[in-house]
Amino acid sequence: MKQDAWKRPISSIDTRHYQQPSLNFKSQDSTLKEQEIWNEQELKPWAEKQLGIVALMSFVQLFMLGLMFFIFWVNTRIF
């Protein structure tokens, strides 16, 4: 009996071709009321937190850059 690369008998390999069912990507338009609710509940809270998040991540990035330069300096002293 013939075998594939993983030493399985070829007769045990499923050779059917599967097809993905068709997907419906049609969306419905939202109303102005739904847009206002989404803006108030989803967008506004993240917009208020955005400056703090960006400032924190900038500090972390600068701290890591300074730590990298410190390790470079330590390595030049040790080696």
- How far, in Å, are 25, 32, 45, 49, 70 from residue 35 at the CA level? 20, 5, 15, 20, 50
Domain that holds residue 39: 34-79
> Does residue 2 belong to any structural domain of this protein?
no
Are 65 and 57 contacting, i.e. CB atoms less than 8 angstroms apart? no
Report the pLDDT value the prediction gives residue 13, as an integer from 0 to 100: 56
pLDDT tens figures, 22-78: 777 888 888 999 999 999 999 999 999 999 999 999 999 999 999 999 999 999 999
- How far, in Å, are 12, 16, 64 from residue 19 at the CA level? 21, 10, 48
Q: What is the dihedral of CA 72, 74, 75, 79, to 10 degrees?
A: 150
> Does residue 72 belong to any structural domain of this protein?
yes
Residue 14's pLDDT band, with cuts at 50, 70 and 90, is: low
Residue 15's pLDDT band, with cuts at 50, 70 and 90, is: low
> Does residue 66 belong to any structural domain of this protein?
yes
> Does residue 29 belong to any structural domain of this protein?
no
Report the pLDDT value the prediction gives residue 9, as an integer from 0 to 100: 77
